[in-house]
Amino acid sequence: MYDLAIIGGGLAGAATAYFACKHGASVVLLERADLNLGASGSNAGSIHAQIPFEPFRLLGPDWARRYASTIPLFQASIARWGTLEEELGGPLGLSAKGGLMVAATEPDMEMLRDKVSVERDAGLGVEMWDAARLRADAPFLSDTMLGGAFCGIEGKADPFLVAPLFARRAQELGLDLRRNAGVNGIAKGDDCFTLDTAQGSIKARRVVNAGGADAARIAMMLGVEVAIEGHAIQVSVTEKRPPTLPYLLYFTGEKLTLKQATEGGFLIGGGWPAQLRGHPIVDHRSMVRNLVIAQTVVPSLAGVQILRSWAAMVNGTKDWRPILGEVSQVPGFYLNLFPWMGFTAAPAVSEAIAALATDRTPKVDLSGFCL
């Protein structure tokens, strides 16, 4: 019998496994396919702290004030990101030169100021930049940009590297990693859970659901309803260009996240929808529109060649808030579900989930995010 069974071989699952193994727990990690094939390895690698603009526009300041309770989690996790390359003994492609959210209209600038006010009240350091500051510190931007909000702790990491390195270090600490071990059923007994997997029956004292877009199906095996959905979105990467863009860049006008990798390629994303035909595939209409918006904000991208585009399923909740911690109706069953921004939040949140699941006190408070 294991102390802990973790379902899901993405970043949340691999990080939870590492932190639990680090403190001596016997852990099995169950992945239905292979590590890092879902959103954890297919996102654009953005490390966020600012409240996203699109839901702020749609849901308003009251929503933002509620959502702002996640900001301390982002701050704690970004601080944790800064220690991981040394702790895990390998590169993660980490760069934290700041994030810049720019606006091209006066109404968007006014909303951006309102959003920054909420963020500052929550303790996040954000500066408002006017047009002159943009010209001085972000000369790559179009002259149509009127201003922006800059958060110095934001940045990027390489999603291809992070979860596999966590898993490798966890295996060195005794993790039993099982690929192609999808979970078909879970039963709770008096003192343990029995998991029916593609590789046979497994018993564990406690279970963590880190199943991402598949988490609702997994939770329902124990009669637990989780309001989390899967969304197919896509990302593109361009040919290499000379160093131009030091920041993580957002645009208030339409969906856009834009960053330049160390080797010179631009990663263009922002949550544009992909098609779903049994599995997510690239929608060329979204790819073209995403590129148009990127060139509108950064004119030097005109004529850039797209080398590769890919799609993946990500998890989302309607209010964008995470669902974390032990499920009160099923003691011993934990949720590690962070919609949309899970790549950023995974280090600190997964360390906290691992602490809770092994009877230790977490470094961050997750009590406000329980089911």
Torsion of CA 251, 152, 158, 273, to 10 degrees: -20
Residues in the chain with pLDDT values less than 70: none
The structural domains of the chain, ordered by start, are 2-42+161-227+319-369 (3.50.50.60), 63-68+83-156+229-316 (3.30.9.10)
pLDDT of the residue at 39: 87
In angstroms, rounded to a whole number, what is the distance separating the alpha carbons of residues 83 and 239? 31
- State pTM to two decimals: 0.96
pLDDT of the residue at 333: 98
Concatenate the DSSP letters of all residues of 86-152 into one string.
Answer: HHHTS----B---EEEEESSHHHHHHHHHHHHHHHHTT---EEEEHHHHHHH-TTS-TT--EEEEET
In angstroms, rounded to a whole number, what is the distance separating the alpha carbons of residues 228 and 215? 7
pLDDT of the residue at 12: 98
pLDDT of the residue at 41: 86
Torsion of CA 247, 242, 86, 14, to 10 degrees: 70
